[in-house]
Amino acid sequence: MVEKDNIGSAASGRNGGQLTPGLARWEATDMIANLSIDEAKRLWRFSSIEAIEMINDIATRYSLDLDIRHGHITAAVHSGHMNSLIESADARRHLGDDKIKIVGAYELDQYIKSQIYHGATIDDLGGQIHPLALLRTLIYGAVENGASIYEFTKALDIQQTPSCAIITTEEGIITAKKGVVVAVHNTTFQFLSGVTGTTVPFYTYVGVTPPLRIDIKTLLPTDMAVYDTQFQIDYYRAVRSNRLLFGGQGTGTSWSPKKINDYLLERIGTVFPQLGQTELEYSWSGISDFTLNGATDCRKIGDNIPTYLVHGWSGHGVAQTVRIGKAISDDIMGENDDFSMLTRIEHMNIPLGRQLSPMAIPLVKAAVGISNTVNPSKLVSF
């Protein structure tokens, strides 16, 4: 295994740690709209129930402390957004998932002490985790089972031959005889022959407060992670030592540290004004990427020595990366066709999508802002 930086330095180790069901932003309603009911049920179970059960099983089997907590809230910032949340919950039940319920504003007060929401879905399947602890666990398990890890070793090119795949790196040549997995997130497109890219990159931001002056349970009594229904969502959760982790936004260019802090502190103050003046102890940014249809783009290239490429997580990939990793392993061993199921989802090529994202994202945000002014009840979430 080669890593161009150090393990966990990018999205896999520095994300918000929220476990959410679905295939990136492809949720139950999308699956029902695009697949047969049997295919939708299978994909939903794969990308939600199986994905999160697998993480729970890993933690239990090896008695690991991964800070796993169950329960996730999607909070409506407009009363009209409740219609979409009800439709989403109904779709999940239609696919055999009964782990979700709808609450109104009064009942939501038992979960979030904020006055800006009009109701929510309470998802007992989702939850939260320490993402770097999960990653280190998986790396440790790989090494214990014979894998070798080479950090600061960037893959430059992959060539197929009848008997092997040859990976050229900055440090040397690797010969693969079973398969190659490319998981370099926003630069996976570089290894897609004939495809200019099916994703658009964006920057997102996260911060963590110092230990709060008040008990964080007075803000989040049930300790559930939250994200909301804004176009540019807020997401937050309680973390160790009475701290609040808070993240959000999606921009075409990277913000300065001051702008990141100013934005996150403004949002924290809007959601929890009872906190008064607060600050951030840490804040950071990173690049994610999204597909136009919202689903993760999974590809398999070559037959003898296949190359597997997965990208377009849209910031919703903590649980699904683990499950899709197993699907790739199963495919290499010929055990099932789970990965083939994922490759059948069609994705649109985006000419110049990556180059134009610094301009396109602000234009889209402005257009959505105008649309929200005209029709604020319409849910458009990013």
Domain CATH number, residue 81: 3.30.9.10
Sheet-wide strand order for 180-182: 180-182, 307-311, 297-301
d(CA 378, CA 351): 29
Minimum mean pLDDT among 124-133, 194-203, 248-257: which range? Answer: 194-203
Q: Over 70: is that where the pLDDT of 371 sits?
A: no
pLDDT (0 to 100) of residue 184: 66
Q: Where are the beta strands (DSSP E) in the chain?
A: 18-19, 69-75, 100-104, 119-128, 155-160, 165-169, 173-176, 180-182, 199-208, 225-228, 234-239, 243-251, 282-291, 297-301, 307-311
Rounded CA separation 106/318 (Å): 31
Give the pTM: 0.90
Do 55 and 125 contact (CB within 8 A), yes or no? no
Please report whether residue 382 resides in a domain. no
Stretch 233-246: mean pLDDT: 96
Whether 7 maps to a domain, the answer reads yes
Percent of the chain with pLDDT over 90: 58
Q: For residue 301, what pLDDT band results from cuts at 50, 70 and 90?
A: confident
Q: Which pLDDT score is estimated for 353?
A: 65
Residue 284 resides in a domain: yes
Range scoring the smallest mean pLDDT among 46-50, 68-72, 105-109, 353-357: 353-357
**What average pLDDT score do residues 270-290 get?**
93
Which tens digits make up the pLDDT trace of 143-200? 988 989 999 998 888 888 888 889 899 889 999 988 888 876 666 667 766 555 788 8
Residue 209 lies in a domain: yes
- The answer to whether position 379 is within a domain reads no
Which one is predicted more confidently, 288 or 89?
A: 89
Is residue 323 included in any domain, yes or no? Answer: yes
Q: What is the pLDDT of residues 18-65, one digit of tens each?
A: 999 999 989 999 999 999 999 999 999 999 999 999 999 988 888 888
Q: Flag whether 348 is in a domain.
A: yes
Give yes or no for residue 207 having a pLDDT over 80: yes
Q: Which domain holds residue 233?
A: 1-374
The vertex-169 CA angle with 168 and 171, nearest 5°, equals 125
As a whole number, the mean pLDDT across the chain is: 89
100 found inside a domain: yes
pLDDT of residue 372: 62
Does the structure show a pLDDT above 90 at 291? Answer: no
Residue 37's alpha-carbon distances to 276, 292, 320, 327, 375, in angstroms, are 49, 23, 21, 21, 32
- C-alpha span between 222 and 84 (Å, rounded): 24
The mean per-residue pLDDT over the stretch 371-382 comes to 60
State how far the Cα of 2 lies from the Cα of 253, in Å rounded to an integer: 28
Angle, helix 51-61 to helix 318-333, in steps of 10 degrees: 90
- Fill in the amino acid letter for 252: G
Output the pLDDT for position 77.
95
268, 246 Cβ separation under 8 angstroms: yes
What is the model's pLDDT at position 368? 54
Number of domains, the chain = 1
Residue type at position 31: M
- Token pair, residue 362, equals 């602000």
What spatial distance separates the first Cα and last Cα of the chain, rounded to whole Å?
32
**Mean per-residue pLDDT, 276-290:** 91
**Dihedral angle of Cα 360, 363, 364, 367, to the nearest 10 degrees:** -160
Is the pLDDT at 376 greater than 70? The verdict is no
